[in-house]
Structure 1
């Protein structure tokens, strides 16, 4: 297991000897750094630290400071399990419950017109993840004349927890991680103009649990009006949310096992006891009736989502997730009963071995089909939507990787170069793909349409065209009714 190195958190005041760009926020002045035309401001507090009596409470307004706050390094990651695979060689960042910080990348010259804003929400199954990961560097977006923000939110039992003792505090309960995201978006609304951003042109985007968060925020009345476009990368189904009564019962049972039966005792538990590692992927998100009123499939089908441009898609080797969910494909096929065998045969029709076909079926059920379904529901409700499939594998990895696994598109979307991640050498073709994807995403943030000069036309998904853009090893091209027969059969067998 990969261990992070913990260090105390200090709010450091900037030294005039290391003067950088200075911005005045609603809570005080901050100083960042600039390099090659891009300014970055790291570790900006957007809420009071959720510690002590603020554990399991909605994020509270950040306390103003005097002087000049140094914003040159990431705030701590939220408390979580150690990682099996670090996000880059030498990656080290402390963990703390005091973790509600965000980061901003902006063009160095903030004068003149306001720029579009992109807000990144990380993935990690709602039990891990952090805005400090090297793959989430916003430099390339800033060079596209976009102001990019990344944020931390509470995960695991710190971020998603209910208990009978919590309901008496007169505020929303349960989905603290989603509340953190909303609080950060409120910070963007109130402060981003000082960084050259346009608070009336905000795009939220995320991958995996970050994409699930995007979908929940799309459906949440509490987030309405805080963003104006949305991108969901491999967000899955989000087909179940835990009823509040069950979440409270589960929380009470867990607290009783810890010997913590009162709110004071629960909040006095050490962070390690609350983490309770290893943490299994939980039914994290809670139907609290305020932040989350229904599952996102219910919301999309009923049209209970923000009527804004939406970009959605998944990768071609999402079954890479099965390494953490052994046997998931067998359980899915068994759950389909007599329909299951027929769908498996469709996945074997091109000569694919059964074992591989079963896993591919699971990967498309988990990520590809939900993306297509959300595009279809959005189009049926007259919304503007673009669908993609990502199957590009960097050239030096093609002998090792059967496809583009879960999250493999992120470094391309962010146009992260080898010098930053050092995971593998990028060829000229890899760099071209990354630049192109970064341009599509930035264009979408700018105009609500991914298309732009010099790019292949990405057709909008409609109920008549059912088009997607395929980012493949041999290039980028639109496709109509991609793999319609097998996906239709899978949908008929699985969608209730």
Structure 2
């Protein structure tokens, strides 16, 4: 129901009788004015125009608000520009178009998004039904999806579980695939920033929050940026970006500390690390473009045709942020031990089955992953296990857990506070079928949308149990309390100690909540030592 509707009662005198015609008309006029005033006050004024929201699942939702101009035509592969202004009140009652994408490799069946368009830079604001007497903390979510998939309209990201706990939630779309991560020689050579359009979009959304969220009852001086997977990696990017300074005040990185885009650059390729321009050349070749004006031809290629040039999110060629020297000066993994550009309070963690997507790789690809290691050393670390299980564990430790420990140690030395978690909870109905919590399964626990997620993505045998909801309530409360104060601890929750250089405690979230000092230290020390040897060896050549 639109929140602006506020019916006026019919006037009656003290005996319940209708007044005289003259008195009726006068009272009716006053009532009409009052109704119009209620309508006007229900609209929220943004820098681009007024918007009205809808009551939905116990909160107010403002959907599909443009935060930038449509990135089409001459604005394709350009930094986001201010949105166009509008007159009157814009109905923000439905999601904006999802950014163009192909079906994700882990999903079955056709795309679930009915409306896709290159004009997709929209955001959503979720607020409490009853205004607070003071500005509320703001949580800004960046969705995941390998920088090629996903949308802010996914139902499990709805604000109905977070907002009633006393926050305002903002979610948004950003350009994906080759539309969000792209460069080609001569394409935008005069632009100050180029290539990382997904990060530029995200910072444009954060700037919109700074300019507008106070009108929705939010505190622009208390913004928590959080995201999962590619969204988590994006948070790492903004923590490392001088252009993001002052745009957020706390950060939560969920499964975003993978070492899968090491030192990739805009124009300079390295062995095994093609530059973004080389990827652009590959895309142009796949499209069959020829001549001296390929850069301009690329702007004319339909979006759907562009995104169909698929790149593996695990391969050497993949869409995603690169070190451009400006927006992202350097690979965060190299930069953090020396300097964290935006050292704010941070929560950082992983799930216990991050390598679940390794099932998409071939045996040949997995053998290449294991090639640098001695089989006896791996057996000593993990015991005798099936080949693909060993490969998964190696990938998780080398590409996820060990880099995460490096980030945690850097943050412990520089950030005001850092909290580490390991999400190992498996839904009660799936406990016998899964050896751990797959990548991304912590998200609906954070949002308290387990029932919505179960309905949106049903799985055989899966149902939501009371225990699942109890764990979700605790996890979500941690996130919200952190957004409010920079500390996830509060009365009634299991204690979550800070991660320090002396304790290195990780909170394991499972059937119980346990503090784990020196988490996986033996395994991670092996990969840390191996990485050091490899780096020294490369410097000798």
Per the normalisation by structure 2, the TM-score is: 0.83
Aligned counterpart in structure 2 of residue 404 of structure 1, from 437, 440, 443: 437
Query: Take 2:98 and 2:164, find their aligned partners in 1: how far apart are those partners?
Result: 26
Match of 1:346?
381
The structural deviation recorded for 1:17 is: 9.6
- Distance change >3 Å, CA 53–CA 239, structure 1 → 2: closer
Query: Take 1:258 and 1:88, find their aligned partners in 2: how far apart are those partners?
Result: 31
Match of 1:9?
none
Query: Take 1:125 and 1:85, find their aligned partners in 2: how far apart are those partners?
Result: 11
Match of 1:359?
392
Match of 1:482?
519
Match of 2:303?
271
Aligned counterpart in structure 2 of residue 152 of structure 1, from 157, 164, 173: 173
Query: Take 2:252 and 2:68, find their aligned partners in 1: how far apart are those partners?
Result: 25
1:258 and 2:283 matched: no
Please give the root-mean-square deviation of Cα atoms over the aligned residues, in Å. Answer: 2.5
Query: Take 1:418 and 1:88, find their aligned partners in 2: how far apart are those partners?
Result: 22
Match of 2:414?
381
Identify the range of structure 1 (149-158 vs 299-308) with the bigger mean alpha-carbon deviation: 299-308
1:491 and 2:513 matched: no
Query: Take 1:429 and 1:56, find their aligned partners in 2: how far apart are those partners?
Result: 47
Aligned counterpart in structure 2 of residue 222 of structure 1, from 216, 238, 243: 243
Aligned counterpart in structure 2 of residue 444 of structure 1, from 482, 493, 499: 482
Query: Take 1:368 and 1:466, find their aligned partners in 2: how far apart are those partners?
Result: 13
- Distance change >3 Å, CA 464–CA 87, structure 1 → 2: farther
The answer on whether the counterparts of 1:238 and 1:297 sit within 8 Å (CA) in structure 2 is no
1:312 and 2:327 matched: no
The answer on whether the counterparts of 2:454 and 2:464 sit within 8 Å (CA) in structure 1 is no
Show CA shifts across 1:87-120 (max 9, x none).
9999443111010001111112234211111111
The structural deviation recorded for 1:252 is: 4.0
Give 1:52-67 correspondences, 5 Å limit: 52-67=73-88
Query: Take 1:76 and 1:360, find their aligned partners in 2: how far apart are those partners?
Result: 38
The answer on whether the counterparts of 2:253 and 2:347 sit within 8 Å (CA) in structure 1 is yes
Q: Secondary structure at the match of 1:95?
A: coil
- Distance change >3 Å, CA 21–CA 470, structure 1 → 2: farther
Show CA shifts across 1:56-107 (max 9, x none).
0000000100111111111111111123555999944311101000111111
- Distance change >3 Å, CA 68–CA 86, structure 1 → 2: farther
The answer on whether the counterparts of 2:78 and 2:197 sit within 8 Å (CA) in structure 1 is yes
1:199 and 2:224 matched: no
Q: Please identify the structure whose Cα radius of gyration is greater.
A: 2
- Distance change >3 Å, CA 427–CA 21, structure 1 → 2: farther
Give 1:275-314 correspondences, 5 Å limit: 275-281=307-313, 282=318, 284-314=320-350
The structural deviation recorded for 1:37 is: 4.1
The answer on whether the counterparts of 2:3 and 2:53 sit within 8 Å (CA) in structure 1 is no
The structural deviation recorded for 1:16 is: 6.4
1:467 and 2:505 matched: yes
Query: Take 2:432 and 2:90, find their aligned partners in 1: how far apart are those partners?
Result: 48
Query: Take 1:429 and 1:401, find their aligned partners in 2: how far apart are those partners?
Result: 17
The answer on whether the counterparts of 1:127 and 1:279 sit within 8 Å (CA) in structure 2 is no
Query: Take 1:270 and 1:404, find their aligned partners in 2: how far apart are those partners?
Result: 39
Query: Take 2:119 and 2:391, find their aligned partners in 1: how far apart are those partners?
Result: 43
Show CA shifts across 1:340-366 (max 9, x none).
641442111xx6555423322222322
Give 1:11-410 correspondences, 5 Å limit: 21-35=42-56, 37-84=58-105, 91-235=112-256, 236-237=258-259, 239-245=261-267, 246-252=275-281, 254-255=283-284, 257-259=288-290, 261-281=293-313, 282=318, 284-327=320-363, 328-336=365-373, 338=374, 341-348=376-383, 352-353=385-386, 355-381=388-414, 383-410=416-443
Query: Take 1:326 and 1:369, find their aligned partners in 2: how far apart are those partners?
Result: 24
The structural deviation recorded for 1:264 is: 3.2
Q: Secondary structure at the match of 1:34?
A: strand
1:455 and 2:493 matched: yes
Q: Secondary structure at the match of 2:188?
A: helix
Show CA shifts across 1:440-463 (max 9, x none).
011111111111110011000001
Query: Take 1:55 and 1:354, find their aligned partners in 2: how far apart are those partners?
Result: 45
Show CA shifts across 1:20-56 (max 9, x none).
9521111011111124541111111100000111100
Gaps of 5+ in 1: 1-12
The structural deviation recorded for 1:386 is: 0.5
Query: Take 1:49 and 1:412, find their aligned partners in 2: how far apart are those partners?
Result: 33
- Distance change >3 Å, CA 156–CA 382, structure 1 → 2: closer
- Distance change >3 Å, CA 479–CA 88, structure 1 → 2: farther
The structural deviation recorded for 1:316 is: 0.8
Query: Take 2:164 and 2:250, find their aligned partners in 1: how far apart are those partners?
Result: 20
Q: Secondary structure at the match of 1:371?
A: helix
Q: Secondary structure at the match of 2:138?
A: strand
Query: Take 1:101 and 1:188, find their aligned partners in 2: how far apart are those partners?
Result: 12
Q: Secondary structure at the match of 2:161?
A: helix
The answer on whether the counterparts of 1:343 and 1:489 sit within 8 Å (CA) in structure 2 is no
Q: Secondary structure at the match of 1:119?
A: strand
The answer on whether the counterparts of 1:234 and 1:368 sit within 8 Å (CA) in structure 2 is no
Gaps of 5+ in 2: 8-38, 268-274, 536-541
The structural deviation recorded for 1:390 is: 0.6
Show CA shifts across 1:149-206 (max 9, x none).
1111111110011122223443311111110000000000000111111111111111
